Chain A
Amino acid sequence: MADESEALRKQILSARKNNQKLNIVGGGTKDFMGRTADSHAETLSLAEHTGIVEYHPVELIMTVRAGTRIADIEAALAEEGQCLHFEPPRFGDASTLGGTLACNLSGPARPWTGSVRDQVLGIRLLNGKGEHLRFGGQVMKNVAGYDVSRLQAGAMGTLGAITEISLKVMPLPASSMTLVQDMPMADVIRYMNQRAGESKPITGAAWVDGKVYLRLSGARSAVEATAEKWSGEVMEQGEAFWKQLQHMTHEFFQGDAPLWRFSVGSTAPNPELDGPMLIDWAGSQRWYRGEANMAKLESMAKPAGGQVSLFRGGDRSDEVMHYQPEALQNIQKRLKESFDPDGLFNPGRLYSWL
C-alpha cells in the first residue's frame, strides 16, 4: 500500500535527461508478451505502487493503483460479494491490474460482460514528459475529453505508465452452471452463435477436444430453467474448466509450441490449419498451436474479419501483432509522439515501428 508516483515521476524525468529508455513492468508475469523487450532499457517498476485508493461497493466503482495485484483486488471485492466480471487472466500471483489493461486481457465471459477496456472509467498516467495526468473519472459516464483511458488498452505501455485505474465492478453471479456435450468442430461455430443469440443468461461458450462447453450464470431460477431447456450434460466442477481457460492453465496451453491468437468475427469459418485449436468467446477468439508463418496467418485472419497475433513463444524479434495499414501506423506513431516525445517507454515492444 504505497503511493510511489513521485518516485516514478522522478525516474522518468531523469531517464528523459539521460536519454535512457524505460521498460515498464508491473508484476512481470506478461514478459513473454509482445516483442522482445529492449535489453538496454532500464526497468520502470510499478510493483510497489499498490493499494486500493477508493472502493464504494454501492457505486460499483473501485479505484486502485496500477501495481495492485489482481488477486488482492479480487479478494477485496469478494468480501462485498462483487467481482471483476471481465475475468482477468492471471499468469502468476504477481499479475497486476495495470498490466492487464495495457495488454487488454479478459477472460471467457468477455463477449457478455465486456472486456477490461469496457470496464475502465478513468486512469492516471505518467507521460513521457513526466506529467502525471488524470483522464476519465470515477463515475460511470464521462464524455469530457478524449477517451485516453481506453486508448491504453492494447497499447502495451507505449504511451506512458498507467499509475491508477478506476473501473466498474459487478455483483458476483448468484449461481452458475456449465453444460457440456460432444460436437465436431465443423458444427460448433454455428451452434455457439445460435445460443448466444438467445435471450438466456449465457456467460461462456468454448470448444476444445471435440466438446462444446456453455456456461450459464445469473439468477438461480433462470440458470436452472435454461439448463433444462438446452442440450448438454451438467458438468460437475464446471467453474474449474472456465478458470483453466481464464488463466490459460488448461492442457491446451501447455508446452512450448508457439501460441497464436486469432481475434475474428464470431461466425467466420475456422482457418484451415493442421495443429490443435481451442475456440472461445462463442467463436470470436480462436487459439492455435504450432509453427506457422505470420504473413500466412494474417492472410487467414483478415477475411475472417479480424487479426492474428503471436501470443506466446515463436520468434519474438520480428512482428508479433497483426500488421497495421500505413494510415493507422501514422496515427499511432503520432499518438506515441504526443504522449512520449522522446520515445522512452517500451520501445519496439508492440511494433518494431513504435
Chain B
Amino acid sequence: MKTRPSISKAELAEKFRSFIDPDFVITDNETMKPYECDGMSMYCEMPMLVVLPETASQVQQVMRLCNEYRVPVVARGAGTGLSAGAMPHKEGVVLSLAKFNRILEVDPLARTARLQPGVRNLAISEEVAQHGLYYGPDPSSQIACTIGGNVAENSGGVHCLKYGLTVHNILSVEMITAEGDRVVVGNDALDGCGMDLLAVMTGSEGLLGIVTEVKVKLLPKPEVARVVMAGFDSVQKAGDAVGGIISAGIIPGGLEMMDGYAIVAADDFAQAGYPRDAKALLLCEVDGTVEEVQEHIEQAENLFRELGATSVKTSQSEEERALLWKGRKSAFPAVGRISPDYYCMDGTIPRRQLAHVLLEMEKMSEKFGLRVANVFHAGDGNLHPLILFDANVPGEFERTEAFGGSILNLCVEVGGCITGEHGVGVEKIRQMAVQFNDEELQQFHDLKVAFDPRGILNPGKGVPALKFCQEYRSLEYKQHDHDTVEVAHG
C-alpha cells in the first residue's frame, strides 16, 4: 500500500488553488510551523502542505485529488489531541477544518444541534444554554477542542460515567470518504438499519473519513448539581469508597480522584480548599432534580464517613461547586507548574485494580527516577498519570516514554486498556501490540481498507504495521528479563 505520492508539492498546490482561496493553501514553512504537532508536542513533523477548505464540496475535491495521487491526508481540528493523531505526514496534506466553525441549526424541541466539525465543544453548550440544554461530553480541553476532533477520538469528560462518551451523544455525521464520496452515517433517529457505521467512525482518529458535519443530542440541564468532596488517608480507602457509592445505586454525574501530588499542585493553583494532607481526594458530583440530589447527597456523605473519609465537605452554592471543580479541571496546568514538562497517560483499568496499579506505579517511579501525579476518572476507571520530567535534560524524555509504556503494559496486564479517551495516534501505537494480537490488528487493517482502499487517511497512526509488533513484543520481554530501559525513539 505504501507508495509515494505521484505528484509534486507545487503541482498539488496549484490544483488546490484552482478551487480553494489561494491564501488558504499554505506551502511555506513559516506559516506551516504551527501545524507541525498537536497537544502531544514531543512528536513533530512538517507536512508537504496545509489546506483550509471551507465547504464540503471543496473537501470532496481535495480527497479526490489526494486519492488519485496517493497523497496522505491528515485531518486537523483544534490540534489539542494528546496522542499525536493530528501530527502531519511529511509527504502529506494537513486538512484543517478550522473554517468549518458554524453552528448550523439548533432544534430545542427535538434536543439536537447540527454543527460543522470545527465548532468548539464548549461553544455548543454556550449556544444552547438559552433553551435550558447542554451537550454532555465535556473534555477538560472543551474551550478549545472541536466536535470533529471529539468524534474522531470518541472523547469523554468528567461527566461520562452518567452521560456517556461522544459515541453515545451523536446522531449522525456527514463525512467525505477517502474516495471523495459524501455520505451521511446515522440519521435523526436513535437506531438505524444495518451495521453501525456511526460507531465505527467514532474514535477512528481520522483514519476512515473526514467528518464535515455532526448532529449531536442535547440534554436538559439538571435542576441542580452539588459536589461532595471527601479526603482519605489512603488510596485504597478512596477506591473502596468509589465502589461503595456505585453499589449503593448512585450514579454520580462525575466521580473524580486525585492523589497526594495532584491534590497539592491543584490546590496551589486554584486555592480550592482541598485537604492538603490527604493521600487521596474524591470529588463526587450528584445532579438531577432537587429531591433526588438531596437524597443522594446525604447518602454519599454518610457513606464516605462510614468508609473512613478523614474529611467530608459538600458544596453549598454554585460558586463553591465551581471552585471545587476548578482544582480538578486545572490539574494538568497545575502539575505543569511544579515541573518543566509533564507527560499525560490515559490507561483504563478495572477499578478493583486501582490500589495495585498505583502501588506498582510508585515502584516504577522509583526505578525510572521520575515523579508521577495521578488524576483519575475514578467512576469509569480511566487513569491519567502525569509523569513529570524535564525535556532539556538529555535522555529524560526517552525515560519518560519508557515509564509511560510500562504503565500502559500494566493496564493491559490487569485487564484494562492502553487508552480510555485520548486515542492511539502515533504515541501509543507500539502498545497496540500488547493489547491486540496479530490477527486482531490485521482485522483492523482490513477494516480500514473497506473505507480507504488506498490507505491515504492518516497513515501510520492508530494501528501498527505487523512487522513492528513482533519487534516490540520481543523488546518488552527483554525488558522484563533484564530490567533495562531501552526503547527505540518513536
A143 engages B183 (CB within 8 Å) = no
Q: Mark B109-140, 1 if CB is under 8 A from A, else 0.
A: 11110000000000000000000110000000
Q: Which residue of B lies closest to A172 (CB)?
A: B249
B450 engages A338 (CB within 8 Å) = yes
Choose from B188, B222, B444 the contact partner of A146 (Cβ within 8 Å): B444
Q: Which residue of A lies closest to B380 (CB)?
A: A140
| Residue from A134, A196, A199 having most chain B Cβ neighbours under 10 A | A199
- Chain B min CB distance to A135 (Å): 7
Choose from A220, A225, A281, A332 the contact partner of B194 (Cβ within 8 Å): A332
Alpha-carbon distance between A151 and B181 when the two chains are bound, in angstroms = 21
Known contacts A139-B420, A305-B187, A307-B189, A321 near B194 by CB under 8 Å = yes
Alpha-carbon distance between A253 and B421 when the two chains are bound, in angstroms = 42
Alpha-carbon distance between A304 and B443 when the two chains are bound, in angstroms = 36
Q: Which residue of B lies closest to A225 (CB)?
A: B291
**B71 sits at the interface (CB 8 A):** no
**Residues from chain B with Cβ under 8 Å of A145 in the complex:** 424, 432, 435-436, 440, 444, 462-463
**Residues from chain A with Cβ under 8 Å of B358 in the complex:** none
A155 engages B446 (CB within 8 Å) = no
**B195 sits at the interface (CB 8 A):** yes
A143 engages B153 (CB within 8 Å) = yes
Alpha-carbon distance between A118 and B132 when the two chains are bound, in angstroms = 25
B451 engages A331 (CB within 8 Å) = yes
**A194 sits at the interface (CB 8 A):** yes
**A271 sits at the interface (CB 8 A):** no
**A266 sits at the interface (CB 8 A):** yes
A222 engages B110 (CB within 8 Å) = no
B415 engages A170 (CB within 8 Å) = no
A141 engages B192 (CB within 8 Å) = no
B196 engages A144 (CB within 8 Å) = no
A309 engages B167 (CB within 8 Å) = no
Alpha-carbon distance between A139 and B346 when the two chains are bound, in angstroms = 13
Choose from A140, A194, A225, A335 the contact partner of B109 (Cβ within 8 Å): A194
B422 engages A196 (CB within 8 Å) = no
Known contacts A104-B191, A172-B249, A143 near B451 by CB under 8 Å = no
**A346 sits at the interface (CB 8 A):** no
Q: Which residue of B lies closest to A122 (CB)?
A: B417
| Residue from A151, A200, A201 having most chain B Cβ neighbours under 10 A | A151
**A110 sits at the interface (CB 8 A):** yes
Known contacts A337-B450, A339-B443, A267 near B164 by CB under 8 Å = no
**Residues from chain A with Cβ under 8 Å of B132 in the complex:** 197, 199
**Residues from chain A with Cβ under 8 Å of B446 in the complex:** 338-339
**Residues from chain A with Cβ under 8 Å of B203 in the complex:** 143, 146-147
Q: Which of A9-17, A66-74, A232-240, A322-330 contacts B (4 or more CB under 8 A)?
A: A322-330
Alpha-carbon distance between A146 and B291 when the two chains are bound, in angstroms = 41
**Residues from chain B with Cβ under 8 Å of A131 in the complex:** 439, 443
**B349 sits at the interface (CB 8 A):** yes
Known contacts A222-B289, A264-B188, A332-B194, A144 near B419 by CB under 8 Å = yes
Q: Which chain A residues numbered 302 to 343 have a C-beta less than 8 Å away from chain B? A: 304-307, 309, 321-322, 324-325, 327-328, 331-332, 334-335, 337-339
**Residues from chain A with Cβ under 8 Å of B451 in the complex:** 331, 334
**A50 sits at the interface (CB 8 A):** no
Known contacts A142-B419, A146-B203, A263 near B189 by CB under 8 Å = yes
Choose from B161, B249, B415 the contact partner of A138 (Cβ within 8 Å): B415
Alpha-carbon distance between A118 and B163 when the two chains are bound, in angstroms = 11
Known contacts A58-B246, A328-B183, A147 near B110 by CB under 8 Å = no
A267 engages B110 (CB within 8 Å) = yes
Q: Which residue of B lies closest to A305 (CB)?
A: B188
Known contacts A199-B222, A328-B197, A137 near B192 by CB under 8 Å = no
- Chain A min CB distance to B221 (Å): 6
**B220 sits at the interface (CB 8 A):** yes
**B156 sits at the interface (CB 8 A):** yes
Q: Which residue of A lies closest to B110 (CB)?
A: A267
A137 engages B416 (CB within 8 Å) = yes
Alpha-carbon distance between A106 and B189 when the two chains are bound, in angstroms = 14
**A81 sits at the interface (CB 8 A):** yes
**Residues from chain A with Cβ under 8 Å of B154 in the complex:** 143, 147
Known contacts A153-B199, A174-B249, A306 near B440 by CB under 8 Å = no
**A190 sits at the interface (CB 8 A):** yes
| Residue from A104, A172, A219, A309 having most chain B Cβ neighbours under 10 A | A219
A153 engages B249 (CB within 8 Å) = no
**B160 sits at the interface (CB 8 A):** yes
A141 engages B289 (CB within 8 Å) = no
Q: Which of B27-35, B262-270, B292-300 contacts A (4 or more CB under 8 A)?
A: B292-300
Alpha-carbon distance between A102 and B297 when the two chains are bound, in angstroms = 39
- Chain A min CB distance to B422 (Å): 7
Q: Mark A38-71, 1 if CB is under 8 A from B, else 0.
A: 0000000000000000001111110000000000
B289 engages A201 (CB within 8 Å) = yes
A322 engages B193 (CB within 8 Å) = yes
Alpha-carbon distance between A198 and B296 when the two chains are bound, in angstroms = 20
Choose from B181, B196, B247 the contact partner of A104 (Cβ within 8 Å): B196
A141 engages B165 (CB within 8 Å) = yes
**Residues from chain B with Cβ under 8 Å of A263 in the complex:** 187, 189-193
- Chain B min CB distance to A112 (Å): 10
**With A141-B420, A306-B189 already in contact, 11 other A-B pairs whose C-beta atoms are closer than 8 Å:** A139-B417, A141-B421, A143-B154, A147-B167, A150-B200, A201-B288, A219-B289, A219-B291, A225-B290, A305-B189, A306-B192
Which residues of B are at the interface with A, using a C-beta cutoff of 8 A?
Answer: 107-112, 132-133, 153-154, 156, 160-161, 164-165, 167-168, 177, 181-183, 185, 187-197, 199-200, 202-204, 208, 220-223, 243, 246-247, 249-251, 288-292, 294-296, 348-352, 377, 379-382, 415-424, 428, 432, 435-436, 439-440, 443-444, 446-451, 453, 462-463
The 7 A-B pairs with the shortest beta carbon distances in the complex, nearest first, are A305-B188, A265-B188, A150-B199, A306-B189, A140-B380, A334-B450, A171-B249
Which residues of A are at the interface with B, using a C-beta cutoff of 8 A?
Answer: 56-61, 81, 104, 106, 110-111, 114-115, 117-118, 127, 131, 133-135, 137-148, 150-155, 158-159, 170-172, 174, 190, 193-194, 196-201, 218-222, 224-226, 263-268, 281, 284-285, 304-307, 309, 321-322, 324-325, 327-328, 331-332, 334-335, 337-339, 350-351
